[in-house]
Structure 1
Amino acid sequence: MNKIEVLKKLSLTGHQNPIFALEVDEGAALLFTAGNDKGVVAWNLASGIFQKIVLPVKSSVYCLHRLPHTSYLAVGERSGLVTIVDYVNHKILARLQHHQKPVFGLQAFHTKNELLISSEDGTVSVWDTQTFTMLYNFRVSQETVRCIALNHQENHFALGAKDSKISIFDAQEYSLIHEIDEHSAAITSLCFSPDDSRLLTGGRDAQLNIFETANYSLFKNITAHMFTIYRIAYHPTLPLFATASQDKSVKLWRADDYSLIKNISFEKGYEIHRLSINNMLWINAHTLATVSDDKTVILWDIEVLE
């Protein structure tokens, strides 16, 4: 994998304010986006046009998460409210009202009917996704718990906080296993490698850290961006991953040696976002979606040439 071609496929416009969250439906037919606007928007990925407002909201949306194998979308708001909406049947299923401060992280399990919610209040709540009742609530930090990453075996999950610490929890007992303190600023992104052997972390310090999950020791440190790393995402099938940053760039990296393959930025000649890139998502093996403070969604065509 020596050369990758990146082409801007579509720019989706219509949001009136910065976009923070995105998610895709199970069949990759719809893309959902939300931010400082008053609603969660669905886009038709085949045509690239606006399809519908999925859910009107009263405060900013910081995270979206589809519950596995369902048409249920969890919507986390600045108010602390999490709404579960069935986007196919146009029905609100539940309003999870526990957190009184903004919700930043949502993560559902495939192996059990549970949903994790993290908040600015420093706690994580665990909800039953069939009855939508709260099962547990536990404190992680005195500051915001910004992001959640569940490993593929679903026996560990990582939580990243504003105090720069990463907490590793057992996914069955919800007990703390390990604490990592290698970043110098707030943690803003977490991602386990596909084989669960490594945990990749990014923060406001612009550092990309790679940890061995056998003992969570630091394997490698990379100054990956100029500013905050808001998202780390592995490619669905290829040995590469992407990072998205406040510095208005997306970078593609080799997963074997963590070397840089491609810098998708204005400076490198790409017609990319002009403001902070707040989130991204692999739609499929060839399409990467990014959202920004510049109120646009961009779909990128990613092709491996050799």
Structure 2
Amino acid sequence: MLKHLKTLPGHQNPVYALANSDDEGIFYSAGNDKGVVEWSLNDMAFVKIKTPVQSSVYALLNYNNQLFIGERSGAFSVFDFAEQKVITRINAHTKPIFNIQVVKGKNELLTTGEDGSVAVWSLKDFTEIYRFQVAYDTVRAIAISPDETEVVFGCKDHLIKIYNLADYSLKQTLESHSLPVTSLAYHPSGKYLLSGSRDAQLNIWDLPNYAVRETIAAHMFTIYDIAFHPTLPYFATCSQDKSIKLWDAENFKLYKILSIEKGGIGHSHSINKILWSNDGKYLISTGDDRQVMVWEMED
């Protein structure tokens, strides 16, 4: 299913964010190093420091030939690939930004983080359109439904808040996790939502009614990320317990565990982020051990 292909060293501090490029075979990583790093999957090697940043990076998002960089300072920068430079840096929040997402149909950018607010920005000129308070503490995760009718937020107070994307009105509050919600992902077809938490549980919420179909004791510690394969019926989860797990997206069968304990190769500390390459050939992982690991999908 998945086998270790390459470990890419170079980061000097923990890494929190990954993003693909529009260019096939290129991806980016960032964390406490105060720089966004460009890597080549074709050469399995470091390419260059793409751009320096002023504080630690907790979120990266590539969209429409631009890379959005969310910082610990509460600011976000926009690196334009056509101009090959940062075209704007906005002091968006008073506390760290943990997540950035795009509402494609509305041409809007969402930022959120430790201050519990969500800011909505125009992708045309990066002016602030709207701001609303989702929680009184950290909002770590955002997921947008595939049909772009709803957006869900994972909160430190263990709640999941669902908002209508048309007007950002609160639609529903979900409560089943016992600790902060740290990861969210919609199935690509929109038939269910996955939520991961510091309670190490993975919840499957049926749609459209958001009823809990199943709760899986997926990891030993916090589930930091959930990533669906771009074309195949699989999803991966990663955790503070230093493992990556590959699951069947139809019946939730566990296919593979990638960890030092299981295979002798893996991360030695918390895994903070995972990312499928655009073509689905590779899974990229990174975390507190400062390593970027590339795993290859086997036939």
Structure 2 spans left out of the alignment, 5+ residues: none
* Counterpart amino acid of residue 38 in structure 2: A
Q: Distance in 1 between matches of 2:264 and 2:150?
A: 38
* Counterpart amino acid of residue 260 in structure 1: L
Q: Distance in 2 between matches of 1:270 and 1:63?
A: 29
1:137 is matched with: 131
Q: Distance in 2 between matches of 1:88 and 1:250?
A: 35
1:290 is matched with: 285
Using the TM superposition, give the Cα deviation of residue 45 of structure 1 relative to its aligned residue in structure 2, in angstroms.
1.8
Q: Distance in 1 between matches of 2:74 and 2:115?
A: 9
1:202 is matched with: 196
- Deviating runs (4+, > 2 A) in structure 1? none
Q: Distance in 2 between matches of 1:176 and 1:54?
A: 38
CA offset digits 1:43-96 (Å, max 9, x no partner) = 1221122222222112110000012xx221000000000000113432212112
Q: Distance in 1 between matches of 2:80 and 2:6?
A: 27
Compared CA separation, residues 82 and 303, structure 1 to 2 (3 A): same
Matched, 1:15 2:11: yes
Using the TM superposition, give the Cα deviation of residue 144 of structure 1 relative to its aligned residue in structure 2, in angstroms.
0.5
Query: Residue 267 of structure 1 aligns to a residue in which SS?
Result: helix
Residue in structure 2 matching 1:48, options 36, 44, 48: 44
Matched, 1:117 2:111: yes
* Counterpart amino acid of residue 49 in structure 1: A
Using the TM superposition, give the Cα deviation of residue 155 of structure 1 relative to its aligned residue in structure 2, in angstroms.
1.0
* Counterpart amino acid of residue 11 in structure 2: H
Matched, 1:29 2:25: yes
Cα RMSD for the two superposed structures: 1.1
Q: Distance in 2 between matches of 1:34 and 1:98?
A: 19
1:266 is matched with: 260
Q: Distance in 2 between matches of 1:167 and 1:206?
A: 19
Q: Distance in 1 between matches of 2:21 and 2:9?
A: 20
Residue in structure 2 matching 1:217, options 184, 208, 211: 211
Compute the TM-score of the two structures, normalised by the length of structure 1: 0.95
Using the TM superposition, give the Cα deviation of residue 28 of structure 1 relative to its aligned residue in structure 2, in angstroms.
2.8
How many residue pairs get matched? 298
CA contact (8 A) 1:54 1:87 kept: no
Compute the TM-score of the two structures, normalised by the length of structure 2: 0.97
Residue in structure 2 matching 1:162, options 156, 161, 169: 156
Matched, 1:171 2:165: yes
* Counterpart amino acid of residue 167 in structure 1: K
Q: Percent identity?
A: 45
